[in-house]
Amino acid sequence: MDTVQLEKWIKKIKVTNLMNADVEVVNKSPLKMIGKGRQGAVFHYNDDICVKVFGNQEDCDREHYALSLGQHTNLFPKVHAKGKLYIAMDFVRGVDLREYLQSQPLTEELSDKLIKMLIVFKEIGYERIDHHKRQIYLQEDGSLKVIDVARTVWRDRVYPYPRKLLNSLGDENKAIFLSHVQALSPELYKEWEHYMHMEELSRQIYQVVLNETTDPEKKKQNKKELKAESKKLLTRDDEQNYVTLLEGLMHKVFKEEWIKTMLARGADPDAVKEEIDKYWDERELEALGQSGKTTTTTATTTTNTKTTNKQEHQRRFTGSGDNISRVKESKKVKSDKKSKSKSKDEQKVKGKDKKTGGRKQYSGGKRR
């Protein structure tokens, strides 16, 4: 075919996609339009070849890709040329399945061919193993040809059974086709039946949810119950818990922002986190009055702290007696650092791994 001349003619054809409607076509070329759909319009090139012109390049590329996957089979029209917005392919003759079934019965032989069509779809890599009856053509020799296959590829979600084919057949022919599937492939029939049942169940669930949200009385009752239940999420009534949560919030924000700043300056992330944890550990000790000069003084001070501080102390470290041990351990680590008798890693293990009552104690380890 003369693709140079074809390109000149295509430039005189304007196809525009419309929302939920067939394309709009302005044709100033000598090519005669023989049909159109949602994606493009088909023009007669000669007795054997037609040209499909698309409204956008994505649809054109998509259909060309889908056709290319099946070029080694007899199920698809042969592609002769492709441009940015057109595909030249074999003219598919015959009668489409929609028209055929208006006057002819759906035989088991025809159902067998439809199942084999779906098998080819699967084998060549289509995502949607399905097709509408009006896009399936019966040939004079009894074989099938399919057109408009763009929507069979590049799909994120598809029905796991040939829903479009079944529904397009109509209730009567759908039942006949399924009876043929049951006879020809019982296992396949059971799987399709399962998915159809799950689809119906999904529709029933949707109706239940819809009725709950549209019923004024039910909606009012749900709102009232939610208002009462949501009080469980409030935290400011408990002053001590509020202070704790607020401190944690400030800690988190400070840590996140400090890490961002240090990373922007090229600092080592682990080193930054270690410094942040060290800073907050020291603040914890100062807040608890445990920064004395000796272990004995620290223990005495802890014992004589006011009740509120002692409770805060217990909340943070799970037991005042354990706090004294923790402080002693902290002093011992500092002493070990000065004497350099143990490695830095051993001191970290000593400070972090102490446990009491089955709960890991806070002792300067990293916070998350």
pLDDT band per the 50, 70, 90 thresholds, residue 267: confident
Q: Are residues 38 and 99 in the same domain?
A: no
By residue range, what is the domain housing residue 157?
93-219
| pLDDT value of residue 58 | 96
- Torsion 193-194-197-203 (CA) sign: negative
Report the SS3 class of residue 70: coil
* Residue 305 burial by Cβ neighbours in a 10 Å radius (0-12, 13-18, 19+): middle
Q: Are residues 77 and 124 in the same domain?
A: no
Helix or strand holding residue 117 (H, E): helix 108-124
| pLDDT value of residue 209 | 79
Residue 85 lies in a domain: yes
| pLDDT value of residue 6 | 96
Average the pLDDT over each of 203-207, 224-228, 287-291 and give the range with the smallest value: 287-291
By the 8 A CB rule, do 272 and 259 touch? yes
Identify which has the larger pLDDT, 352 or 174: 174
> Cα 309–310–313 angle (5° rounding)?
85
pLDDT tens per residue across span 18-69: 999 999 999 999 999 999 999 999 999 999 999 999 999 999 999 999 999 9
Q: Are residues 327 and 315 in the same domain?
A: yes
| pLDDT value of residue 212 | 66
| pLDDT value of residue 49 | 97
The CA distance from 255 to 277, in Å, is: 9
| pLDDT value of residue 214 | 67
Of 83, 86, 92, 115, the closest CA to residue 25 belongs to 86
- From start to end of 8-162, where are the E strands? 13-18, 21-27, 32-36, 40-44, 49-54, 79-82, 86-90, 95-96, 136-138, 144-146
Residue 361 lies in a domain: no
Q: Are residues 31 and 136 in the same domain?
A: no
Q: Are residues 97 and 213 in the same domain?
A: yes
Q: How many structural domains compose the chain?
A: 4
The CA distance from 314 to 295, in Å, is: 19
Is the pTM higher than 0.85? The answer reads no
pLDDT tens per residue across span 155-198: 888 999 999 999 999 999 999 999 999 999 999 999 999 999 99
Q: Are residues 106 and 207 in the same domain?
A: yes
Q: What is the 3-state secondary structure (H, E, C) of 179-206?
A: HHHHHHCHHHHHHHHHHHHHHHHHHHHH
| pLDDT value of residue 329 | 52
Identify which has the larger pLDDT, 210 or 363: 210
The CATH number of the domain where 25 resides is what? 3.30.200.20
By the 8 A CB rule, do 88 and 81 touch? yes
Residue 362 lies in a domain: no
Query: Is the pLDDT at 143 greater than 70, yes or no?
Result: yes
Residue 251 lies in a domain: yes
Query: Is the pLDDT at 73 greater than 60, yes or no?
Result: yes
- Torsion 84-86-88-94 (CA) sign: positive
**For 342, phi and psi rounded to 5 degrees?**
-135, 155
Residue 226 lies in a domain: no
